[in-house]
Structure 1
């Protein structure tokens, strides 16, 4: 039998490309032949670079491997030192509402009349056109959900008064690029429920065949929360269940079939499996609950919001031609971080409610229960959290906008004081939770003489400690880099390729955005 090395070079390269990065590095140590082959192969170097960046190859890109590898290296370097390739300031010509999103290179804002959605395809070069598009809805918009890359889909939740003096809450399934009914949806309008109140709050995410909708209220009547899971193409309701007032307010897809809902009543992260058919009993009991740190006496949960970007993409999905990403590589959804913002209420003095806001970061894959794991109703935080999370006191950080993570990176900026609104502002900081990024920066420590870059590999104790029943530890490593200059932003947003700085007016309305492109 001929040795493996006698095979054609193209075939050997193709076989090695299919191996795991760990095995590829092991092959490099076999002998000089394999070492030279792997070092000199652009394709195999690209494979290793993708793993280091926790990115995936984009099959829809027409770029050759050499250009993909160069673009990936340039992107990693630009993010490591926060040196943008392009900065553009864009005015917001309308008065925006609180409806917003940033995903798939699209920045979307509602308007104060709540009957239109304005969106912008963010630039990647100086040649890209900058133009606000408008989706006219014709009804009062409560909120919306985007699934741009996977399905070219926008789901819009509306409200209108019906004849019974209640409000009809409805879901519209539209093609995002046209604003018209989505051609793959059998039912373009889905009745959600009738409500005594006009505008509930919404949590919504779309992955694969499923659309998950959380409806909750912030009024004094204490109505139940509602959780719906539809097959958006067929309009089939997979499941619907309720929970006590202010239990659930948002969600994160962990996989195509696992959904995590933060539970503000029990102070936990509840993980549910999506039923395979609508005939399966409603999953009112979580597959697993991950307890958050216990609160001290006199403290109470004030709400938990969450986000992870990008979302998983179903194996069977075929992305739409119009909005297929053109970049050679994409952030790996499985390796992406999840951000959770936890509000804790404290002592109330008169009309003032004292409390604190905390943020913690954890990788999405770290929250996925092993398939063969025995059922455990609730895991205490000490059994799952300290080694895989990192906690921050967010009292001085704007948390109104949670679209601040993408892939393994998280951007934050200090909360600007009113008198400094026209001043120099503060630097923004990008935290990279990638293992390779941390290792690389530790190796560069002696060579990189910049005070604005630092690594955190030791556990930290969350302050103020008296908020919790026991010390809260988190030791997820990260490397941080502060921008070279301060920015007068009132908030920052983040996608895979850009940082979007927000400038607001005296009424807290977004009037201008500054887009910095890093690649």
Structure 2
């Protein structure tokens, strides 16, 4: 990748401004078109218009539109404004879109009840105002390095097996720990997936093989145990409750990284010791049938965890090449089995002598069907994909990279010319795809469990020496950014926000506004509903919008300055807490406390709904 000159960055900014201008022009043309169609009879009474339809039919039509289009229609005239404002179904549709949520059609609650729960939930998250707080003692401690949280199931590996619990949704709900015991060595546990009621436990066991030529040798049997999450027993709806295979003979101590989506399971096998410097194995199974659908290898320590973009498309960060590899899983036996990625995104190039030590992605919730009982759930397509990026330069440097899962999918269309199904594709340079959709931050703490859910990221607790700190949440929901920016616009226009606390000091080139969240502009869909907002806020909110913001890189890890632009809001609680780790999920933030041996001893649950 050629060095990025100021002229190139200026050209990029010009293109970005031009694209935004075109988008606004299209939006304005759309507004004018909708308004002309709806009011045509006022100018030329040539027959019935859309507004002459019965309210039930008109509501049905609006519910089929994106929520942003419904908000635009609300501003067309009084008739539509009144219809949309008074319709519980349309208000629920709008607020689902604003919150990045998806309705659960299998829920028994009425639309009015769902809307009430949704508004209360979003108020609590915006104010970091939990509705209950629960302390859970971990009577069978396990190390934080083995702990996982998925589908509201928290668990970890302990001596002789694994233990997990479901995060409570009500203060009166009792916490129950389940246990799965095994005499084999556990190398990974994934505690929960919503739709198939699945718990995955992966073990290895050495076995001596005697041959006439080379004499005895040790091989490792890898076993993927497919259990039912609700019972802890073997899953009743799979053809093989245990998928077994033999690790490569050169592996002295196999390590496994795994993710599931839909019916597909991707496993990355690596030799933990790596004395043979062999290679990494990647295997893709259809877990319901046990069918091996794809397998390939790469140089040792190329990969860690995969990241699913769809149920048949996954991404593998490659530390050897500094690229994000896109792999397609065959949907049927008639489809060809790929031997290489078909699309590559390049990360910023490193300075000579520096190397990527690891690139670890997380994205929750996982892609796949939802079969829970809640009235709504987070849209996995809009979730933030969060990458821990470790770079070795005499010592480890930690960075955090945030990209929406939808942006990673969108790159396939935007840069389709870089796709190749025959030869290894040319990677898309970072300067082409990355700055508009990425946010890079430096990180002194390094990884501690999964710290994202949906579009929210909970910053890790401060290091040793700081006893207490507020809960701080970064929210990459673009609607939240617009809401806080709109509040600033109101203030600049002379509309006061009582009690605002402008304490943020903006950096050069940074746009920040801080205010109590209950004073934030809530958009046209909330107009007239101000009495539903909390009277007192338990957090402060600010928005960070840094167009083409340079990453702080004091050790010169990267060859060129790394730019990123993805905006986000920041909320910090007024209360301060002392924890060793913080993990968000669909409804809660978990505060974890460890002992001197990094064994988890206590979990505190802050529930927001």
TM exceeding 0.5: yes
Q: Is the 8 A contact 1:398 1:414 kept in 2?
A: no
Written as runs of structure 1 = structure 2, the 5 A alignment for 1:95-494 is 95-97=141-143, 98-111=145-158, 113=159, 115-164=160-209, 165-196=218-249, 197=251, 199-219=253-273, 220-278=275-333, 280-313=335-368, 317=369, 324-347=371-394, 354-368=395-409, 369-370=411-412, 373-374=416-417, 375=419, 377-395=426-444, 397-401=445-449, 403-417=450-464, 420=466, 424-445=467-488, 446=491, 447=497, 449-450=500-501, 451=503, 452-459=540-547, 460-465=549-554, 466-494=556-584
Count of residues in correspondence between the two structures: 497
For residues 327 and 340 of structure 1, what CA distance do their matches in structure 2 show? Answer: 29
For residues 39 and 488 of structure 1, what CA distance do their matches in structure 2 show? Answer: 43
Q: Is the 8 A contact 1:259 1:273 kept in 2?
A: yes
Deviations 1:119-166 (A, max 9, x none): 111122211111212122342211023442121111211111224232
For residues 138 and 88 of structure 1, what CA distance do their matches in structure 2 show? Answer: 33
Deviation at 1:277, TM superposition (A): 3.0
Deviations 1:282-327 (A, max 9, x none): 42321111111111122111111110001111xxx5x5xxxx4333
Q: Is the 8 A contact 2:157 2:189 kept in 1?
A: no
Deviation at 1:405, TM superposition (A): 0.7
Deviation at 1:29, TM superposition (A): 3.9
For residues 308 and 244 of structure 1, what CA distance do their matches in structure 2 show? Answer: 25
For residues 105 and 426 of structure 1, what CA distance do their matches in structure 2 show? Answer: 25
For residues 7 and 28 of structure 1, what CA distance do their matches in structure 2 show? Answer: 16
Deviation at 1:258, TM superposition (A): 1.1
Aligned to 1:508: 598
Q: Is the 8 A contact 2:594 2:600 kept in 1?
A: yes
SS at the partner of 2:448? coil
Written as runs of structure 1 = structure 2, the 5 A alignment for 1:26-45 is 26-45=72-91
Q: Is the 8 A contact 2:153 2:192 kept in 1?
A: no
For residues 147 and 518 of structure 1, what CA distance do their matches in structure 2 show? Answer: 21
Q: Which has the higher strand share?
A: 1
User: Which deviates the most, 365-374 or 302-311?
Assistant: 365-374
Q: Is the 8 A contact 1:238 1:277 kept in 2?
A: no
Q: Which has the higher helix share?
A: 2
SS at the partner of 1:436? helix
Deviation at 1:209, TM superposition (A): 1.7
SS at the partner of 1:438? helix
Q: Is the 8 A contact 1:84 1:517 kept in 2?
A: yes
Taking structure 2 as the reference length, the TM-score comes to 0.78
Q: Is the 8 A contact 2:279 2:299 kept in 1?
A: yes
SS at the partner of 2:574? coil
- When residues 198 and 118 of structure 1 are mapped into structure 2, their CA distance, relative to the original with a 3 A threshold, is farther
Unaligned runs of 5+ in 2: 1-46, 210-217, 420-424, 492-496, 504-539
Aligned to 2:29: none
Q: Is the 8 A contact 2:187 2:202 kept in 1?
A: yes
For residues 574 and 183 of structure 2, what CA distance do their matches in structure 1 show? Answer: 45
Deviations 1:250-273 (A, max 9, x none): 111111221001101001111111
Unaligned runs of 5+ in 1: 348-353
SS at the partner of 2:463? coil
Aligned to 1:92: 138
Deviations 1:215-265 (A, max 9, x none): 123323212111111111111111111111011111111112210011010
For residues 65 and 200 of structure 1, what CA distance do their matches in structure 2 show? Answer: 50
Q: Is the 8 A contact 1:406 1:496 kept in 2?
A: yes
For residues 574 and 593 of structure 2, what CA distance do their matches in structure 1 show? Answer: 19
Q: Is the 8 A contact 2:68 2:94 kept in 1?
A: no
Aligned to 1:350: none
SS at the partner of 2:325? strand
